[in-house]
Chain A
Amino acid sequence: MEVVASLTGFFPRPEALVAATRDLDRGRATPEAVEALTRSTEREILGLERRNGLAPLTAGYLRWQDIFRPLAERWGGFTVGPVTRWFETNTFFRQPVLHHPPERAPGALADVFPGPAAGLGPAEAQILLPGPYTLAGVLENRSGETHEALVHRLGRLLAEEIAELRGRGYRSFLLEEPLLVVRPPRGPAAESVLAAYRAIGGSANGGDTIVWTFFGDAAPVFPLLGRLPVSVIGIDLSETELARLPVPDAPIGIGLGCLDPRTTLREDPEQIRALAQEARERLRPPRLWLGPGGPLDLLPYEAARRKLEILPLARSMVDGGPR
């Protein structure tokens, strides 16, 4: 069984970049200076990921203001709306407002992902995207489309995006889906999620599609998650008891969100190993993927860095290394 460890969402900006971006907003720093610092920080985070043996690599996604923003700014039909709470946290995002059925132009997101400029080749990069159910659930829908139709349509558009990126050499596509576990879909909504992921799963052409859930208990919705035609389903171990997960009908990779971004308290690698062992025995996944249980940018940079360093230790122990 393969064991992988990676970041699964944004990494926080270090203090210097915090100060620089603040200064930019206040007119005390130039865009060029902030760009240079962002570029060097991306390389620093890549170095951190590489030193800790993580793969695929993210470079932190430091430029994204929130997980929805690039789509809301570049896909047709959207405007960027009011500041809205990011689930049960003290952080916020700008709510996308959808005025008519969404559409995308080829290449619309071409320059938003970390690439060679950050020192990252497409084959080793992790593409982050919002999942269709979460995006459909958090946006303000003025388009006239039903929620179910919208989930399906967003799935198809994301599939087009993934297919295009796959053509450019990207291989790993992680979709953030907190809403799947915070407000599990039922009935027609669940069917629309399945339809959306059929499109997405069919678009990766041999690449990995990872659905990463967090901020909620995956057990109630796991029968649906297990049916999604994707490579890996990520669950938040701070919210989910493994013993309550039903065994999937078909083999599917399991992501263990084993770092809690809501506390600076560091997790014990031995406890992660024990949980991974339990997952391996109960769920028999072809692949185990270790990562944070949610975006680490809920932590300050140094605290996130300390947490990240737990991952290689845990992976080594899960792989049968030193205990």
Chain B
Amino acid sequence: MTRPRLFPTQEIGSIARPRWQIQGQHRQPLDPAARAELERWNGKLEFADPADPHLRSFLSGDPNALTTPEIRDLAALFGLRYFESVGLDRVYDGEARRIEMYEFAVRQMTGFEFQGHVRSFDNKYYLKAANTSEVGLPKPYHLEEFDFVRRHTDREPKLPITGPYTIADWSYNEHYLGRHAGWKGRAVRRSAQREFVLAVAKHAIRPTLKALIDRGCRVIQIDEPAGGTHPDEAALLAEGFNAATEGLDAEFTMHICFSDYRSLFPALLEAKRCSQWTWEFANRDSADHDGYAILSMFREYGDPRKIGLGVLDVHRDEIETPEVVEDRILRAARILGDPERLWINPDCGLRTRSLDVARAKLESMVEGARRARERLEGPSAAGASAAPGARPA
């Protein structure tokens, strides 16, 4: 039996949407930049047949040469090949079919009404919904996209899905809060928020996870970027995770980023079915600050689970060198005391970087992981062993 190789690699979620996808879905003729982008990436990744007459018409400026579903399929294939060609062990489609992680998920559910845009910062905004009635789910989502990915890759797909805590935290709580009589002070708000999180977990996320698992999905990343927003709600974050995964059998990971992780210990460790903590670290790693020192908390609390180690800062264009990636991996392995617990990934989705920058970062990540492997196992093992969880051919 082949021993699982050290430091397998994975992506986290979204990548920048190609210009040709955006224009195509808006039924605009491709401009020269979009055309060149599509041709260039197809030359590299071969995700579409360049002789296909519909593709040729699309490239020639006919906005109706491909239907919207066909454009989305093409974009999903592009995302898949983008990750595969870098050499990642676990892949997905770059979330090519989703508007974004909050709005897409909420639009699948009932009980929400979109209210308008809220400023995130500067001139950046996001659309925010209010929960106005009991949370429901007409049908599970992400199923078709998962089927498509599985049909088109021989790697292990890792499906990302927005978690219940984040859905609730990024929404206004009207329904569950409104059921409480009297003034809505802190204690009432907390109680109502728990009801809201658990309702999303039980009535929307869990049915979707179950349906995905029934379709063969084995690795699911539950995204909780809001997880660190309210440190005193770490127990609720874990409770929501447990409710969403209750009685389900798959490999669940939890992605959190840009948070004060220390404040989440030990309450978060109650997320019992989480087998991998996939967190951002590189963003906080610098010459005068060890961004990976926080990993010692896992030793402190005796938590043996795997770590999805963020080694790429997704907010900077500067490309981490393979040496920097290698150093980060080896540092983390030393702190944890067990290199076999590490998966290697970017801090977060690379959507905010250009496709070229993101690709260069991922290539560096894969090479850095190879170097770290070679350092610990020797040159012969660096590329020979199998990735954990690789799908049998």
Contact = CB atoms under 8 A, between A and B. Distances in A.
Interface of A: 12-13, 15, 18, 21-22, 24-25, 65-66, 83, 85, 88-94, 217, 237-239, 241, 260, 262-265, 267, 271, 275, 297-303
Contacts of A18: 116-117, 119, 125
Contacts of A302: 115-116
B115 A300 contact: yes
A25 B123 contact: yes
Given A299-B118, A301-B116, A265 B170 contact: no
Contact of A238 (B117, B170, B185): B185
A297 B119 contact: yes
A271 B121 contact: no
Interface in B104-155: 115-123, 125-126, 128, 130
B185 to A, nearest CB: 6
Interface residues of B, number: 30
Interface of B: 115-123, 125-126, 128, 130, 169-170, 172-174, 177-178, 182-186, 189, 226, 229-230, 258
A157 to B, nearest CB: 25
A267 B189 CA distance: 13
B123 A91 contact: no
A264 B170 contact: no
A140 to B, nearest CB: 13
B90 to A, nearest CB: 28
25 contacts: A12-B118, A12-B119, A15-B116, A15-B117, A18-B117, A65-B123, A85-B229, A88-B230, A90-B120, A90-B169, A91-B121, A92-B120, A262-B189, A263-B173, A263-B177, A263-B184, A264-B174, A265-B172, A265-B177, A267-B184, A300-B115, A300-B117, A300-B128, A301-B116, A302-B115
A79 B179 CA distance: 46
Interface of B is mostly: mixed
Nearest to B170: A90
B144 to A, nearest CB: 29
Nearest to B178: A265
Contacts of A66: 121
Given A264-B130, A271-B182, A271-B183, A300 B116 contact: yes
A205 to B, nearest CB: 35
Contacts of A21: 123
A84 to B, nearest CB: 9
Given A18-B117, A275-B183, A300-B115, 10 more contacts: A12-B118, A91-B119, A92-B121, A94-B121, A264-B130, A265-B177, A299-B118, A300-B117, A301-B116, A302-B115
Given A238-B186, A265-B178, A300 B123 contact: no
Nearest to A275: B183
Contacts of B258: 85
Contacts of A93: 121
Contact of B226 (A24, A90, A94): A90
Contacts of B177: 263, 265
Interface centre among B130, B184, B229, by most chain A C-beta atoms within 10 angstroms, is B184
B186 A217 contact: yes
Contact of A239 (B115, B116, B119, B186): B186
Contacts of A297: 118-119
Contacts of B189: 238, 262-263
B50 to A, nearest CB: 30
A132 B371 CA distance: 50
Given A238-B186, A260-B184, A275-B183, A94 B122 contact: yes
A32 B54 CA distance: 42
B121 A264 contact: no
A264 B177 CA distance: 10
Contacts of B226: 90
Contacts of A94: 121-122
B220 to A, nearest CB: 23
Nearest to A236: B186
A204 B235 CA distance: 46
A33 to B, nearest CB: 14
B99 to A, nearest CB: 15
The 4 closest A-B pairs by CB, nearest first: A300-B116, A92-B121, A21-B123, A264-B172
Contact of B174 (A13, A88, A241, A265): A265
Contacts of A299: 115, 118, 172
B121 A83 contact: yes
Contacts of B178: 265
Contacts of B119: 12-13, 18, 91, 297
Given A271-B182, A297-B118, A24 B170 contact: no
A239 B184 CA distance: 9
B182 A298 contact: no
B125 A22 contact: yes
Contacts of A24: 123
A89 B229 CA distance: 7
B122 A65 contact: yes
Given A241-B185, A300-B128, A90 B117 contact: no
Contacts of B173: 263, 265
A237 B116 contact: no
A303 B185 CA distance: 20
Interface centre among A22, A66, A263, A299, by most chain B C-beta atoms within 10 angstroms, is A263
